[in-house]
Amino acid sequence: MAHTGAPHWSDVETADGKRLEALLEKITEVCSIPASAQKVLELTRDQFADLPSVVEALGEDPALAMEVLRIANSPFFAQRKKITSIQRAVLIIGMQELNTMAAAMAMLAAFPSNEELSEHLHDAALVSATIARLIAADIEGQDLSTVFLCGLLCEIGAMACFSVDGRHYVEIWHRAQGDFASRAELERKRYGATSEEIGFRLLVRNRISEEVAHAVLPSGLTPPDGLNLLARITGVAKRLTPALYEAQESEEAARRVFGETVPSLCEGFLEGALTPRKLETIAVEAAASQEIEIPGDFGRVDELELDVAVEEHAEEPESSARASEPGEEPRESSKPDGDSDEPLDEASGFFGKLRGLFRRKS
């Protein structure tokens, strides 16, 4: 890409962070959030916003509309049929969720995905978001939408670097060979900051919540002291995603990932909040949702294990089940299909998880 006028950001001295500031300015110039996204943000602040107006605003930005469809079809919303209508996608996501995710979707849409590495980063973002959401579903007190958003944005800095420094960033990516410490060192040498720090700065500039921005910041293989749980979950999701792509290469690679990486992440980031076995199951479920085929029987349960789990759950006191309100009709256990007018319920219930595991087994 040719540049005229002001010096190219890479020609700026690194002292006092000037190169980083020049890079951020270039990213903002090349990949700014369009007015259509700002309009969607404004419209969706009201959960009872006029649906046709929101759909019309999304239609003004094809890249943003495609991002909305991609998110609606993600495992987070668990649709059985592919969603192809923007109106249907908005109904599934909901106005409040759309408002929460609109700026993030616009940022993702601003970075082109027609190059191999860019396509990989966009695909990996959904894997990370799925992993983060599945982890959070098993840990009390986590907002699933926020966690999903953090996973979705965890490589936004890498996407940004690639968008303005394509050939050089591809070289950094390949030289690092999936090692986060090596990638951070190479990024800092070229940009004066890591892609995680660049991502943090971009999110703050675009008024994404500080809670989310801070969650994508941690670098390295081990979390710094005082890191909150949201950032730890995001860190696990980001580090587990490339490991899953590695695991699909061979059964030996899969054994290494599930025998070494998964236990290490449980101990280092999650501090025992999940067992390695549980994280393994989550990882395989996330991989399957994005058609990443893991060789072997990792993360699966056999029929005997399933039967025992169902029996144990059936013996739990009735008070532990989610009761209906007085006068309310009993809740349906089955989910509507993708053509329903209502979004699906969260698929995080006990039997929902077991059914998902059993389907993968069969």
**CA 38 – CA 53 distance, rounded (Å):** 13
Structure confidence at residue 222 (pLDDT) = 55
**Residue-level pLDDT at 10:** 52
Q: What is the DSSP letter of 273?
A: S
Close Cβ partners of 11 (under 8 Å, ≥ 6 residues apart): none
- Asked whether residue 334 carries a pLDDT value surpassing 50, the answer given is no
Residue of 144 and 222 predicted with greater confidence: 144
Question: Is residue 316 pLDDT above 60, yes or no?
Answer: no
> Does 22 have pLDDT greater than 90?
no
Query: How many Cβ atoms sit within 10 Å of the Cβ of residue 245?
Result: 18
Q: How far apart are CA 289 and CA 127, in angstroms?
A: 8
pLDDT over 70 (residue 223): no
d(CA 336, CA 346): 12
Structure confidence at residue 224 (pLDDT): 59
Domains in the chain, please, with CATH? 32-110 (no CATH), 112-295 (1.10.3210.10), 301-312+349-362 (no CATH)
Q: Which residue has the higher pLDDT, 216 or 338?
A: 216
pLDDT above 80 for 17: no
- Over 80: is that where the pLDDT of 336 sits? no
Output phi, psi for 345, to 5 deg. -70, 160
Q: In Å, how far are 82, 243, 257, 273, 279 from 222, measured between CA atoms? A: 38, 15, 16, 16, 17
Residues 163-208 pLDDT 10s: 888 899 999 999 998 888 899 999 999 998 899 999 998 888 887 8
Confidence (pLDDT) at 64: 83
> Mean pLDDT score of the chain, rounded to an integer?
77
Strand residue runs (E) in 93-185: none
Share of the chain above pLDDT 90, in %: 22
Q: What number is the average pLDDT over the span 19-48?
A: 80
